[in-house]
């Protein structure tokens, strides 16, 4: 089985779209998408320098356009699984058929502009934490008053929040961890982006999504989303919610994915997969010269007899109400869970609301912890396998 991945912000490189303009229709497509997104994608992808394409308002539509342009030259009808990192989820949603390409580009333009505006409201930033014990890393991040904005797997977590908090984390890093300040405009995927989430939601409300025609994995919790309206809601919520790329990669492993193709500008997700998903084939598409290898990988891995409609062997328990979560005291990761078993409760203003598993399996991971505030639809626990 093969998955196609769309990269997120930070993967852009000066001039990376230049070789693609030689392909028929590419220039016209970029000019049309420029009109929809409100930025000059032709200029940004060819002549702009690194500083200009670092601008969030410009980078986000540029990356979505690049992924969609790349995918137009691949046999995507044969691809069973798609996912995108952060803003790359908009491209993945178009590839899965949830959004039209035009809707994805338009939303990317709004998302980029509104996130850039939110960054200007208060000085915030992000730092990568590489290595260290995962639990200690998260504890240190939270102790500094920061948020684990990206959990990318392969020993990489991104902390986000106030500049004071980032300085505190740098001064008192987790054991055996290295901290690198990131050159970004602000604290993406944290509550600091709430104004951007609200603005994006108002535009998204006018879009009628379709059911995905492929397995699309969500950044929110790594699950496959089967409802287009739910996916659109998640795309909006992801502006303030952490990116759980570690869970996406775990799901790729659970699905038995044997190869991935990363769309242009490729490299970042391929690198994470190389460290976390041992033994799979990885194809990075950066120029049209890479297309034959990608087409060959798709043909070989789809032809191995896998269904185009596989289903991941896990489920996610979600909150049915807003409140404070309390997991069942006697349940630990690895515990067997029966269908309908109560795994915790949400304390609401009206009283406790029980949370039950919808299917039997094993408790793979808590996605929310004791006394965590939760919102309706938020993932609380991941149940995998069968018993």
The answer to whether 369 is a known catalytic residue is no
d(CA 58, CA 38): 9
Helix, strand or coil, per DSSP, at residue 245: helix
User: Catalytic pick from 86, 93, 127, 315?
Assistant: 86
Describe the chain by its helix, strand, coil percentages, rounded to 5: 40, 25, 40
User: Catalytic pick from 11, 93, 162, 189?
Assistant: 189
Q: How many CB atoms lie within 10 A of CB 208?
A: 10
Q: What is the CA radius of gyration of the chain?
A: 20
Residue count of the chain, please give it.
387
Nearest alpha-carbon partner for 270 in 240, 254, 294:
294
The answer to whether 86 is a known catalytic residue is yes
The gap between the terminal CA atoms of the chain, to the nearest Å, is: 25
Report how far apart, in Å, the C-alpha atoms of 112 and of each of 37, 83, 148, 164, 376 are.
9, 19, 21, 25, 26
Helix, strand or coil, per DSSP, at residue 379: strand
Place of tokens 């287009």: 228
Catalytic residue numbers? Answer: 86, 189
């Amino acid at each position: 089985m093969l998955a196609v991945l769309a990269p997120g912000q930070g993967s852009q490189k000066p001039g990376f779209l230049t070789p693609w303009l030689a392909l028929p229709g590419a220039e016209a497509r970029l000019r049309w998408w420029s009109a929809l997104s409100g930025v000059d994608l032709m200029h940004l992808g060819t002549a702009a320098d690194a500083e200009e394409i670092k601008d969030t308002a410009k980078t986000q539509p540029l990356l979505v356009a690049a992924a969609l342009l790349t995918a137009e030259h691949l046999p995507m009808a044969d691809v069973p699984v798609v996912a995108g990192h952060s803003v790359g989820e908009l491209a993945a949603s178009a590839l899965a058929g949830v959004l039209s390409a035009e809707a994805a580009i338009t939303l990317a333009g709004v998302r980029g502009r509104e996130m850039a505006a939110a960054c200007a409201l208060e000085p915030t930033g992000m730092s990568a934490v590489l290595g260290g014990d995962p639990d200690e890393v998260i504890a240190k991040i939270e102790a500094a008053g920061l948020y684990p904005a990206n959990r990318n797997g392969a020993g990489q977590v991104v902390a986000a929040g106030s500049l004071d908090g980032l300085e505190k984390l740098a001064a008192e890093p987790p054991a055996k961890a290295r901290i690198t300040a990131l050159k970004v405009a602000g604290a993406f995927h944290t509550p600091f982006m709430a104004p951007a989430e609200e603005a994006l939601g108002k535009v998204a409300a006018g879009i009628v999504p379709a059911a995905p025609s492929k397995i699309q994995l969500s950044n929110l919790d790594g699950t496959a989303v089967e409802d287009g309206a739910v996916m659109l809601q998640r795309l909006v919520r992801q502006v303030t919610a952490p990116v759980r790329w570690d869970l996406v990669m775990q799901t790729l492993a659970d699905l038995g994915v044997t190869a991935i193709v990363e769309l242009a500008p490729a490299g970042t997700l391929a690198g994470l997969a190389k460290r976390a998903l041992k033994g799979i084939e990885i194809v990075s598409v950066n120029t049209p010269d890479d297309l034959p290898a990608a087409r060959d990988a798709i043909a070989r891995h789809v032809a191995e007899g896998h269904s185009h409609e596989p289903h991941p062997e896990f489920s996610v328990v979600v909150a049915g109400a807003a409140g404070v979560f309390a997991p069942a005291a006697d349940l630990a990761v690895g515990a067997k869970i029966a269908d309908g078993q109560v795994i915790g409760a949400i304390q609401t203003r009206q009283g406790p609301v029980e949370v039950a598993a919808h299917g039997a399996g094993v408790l793979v991971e808590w996605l929310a912890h004791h006394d965590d505030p939760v919102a309706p639809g938020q993932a609380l626990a991941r149940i995998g396998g069968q018993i």
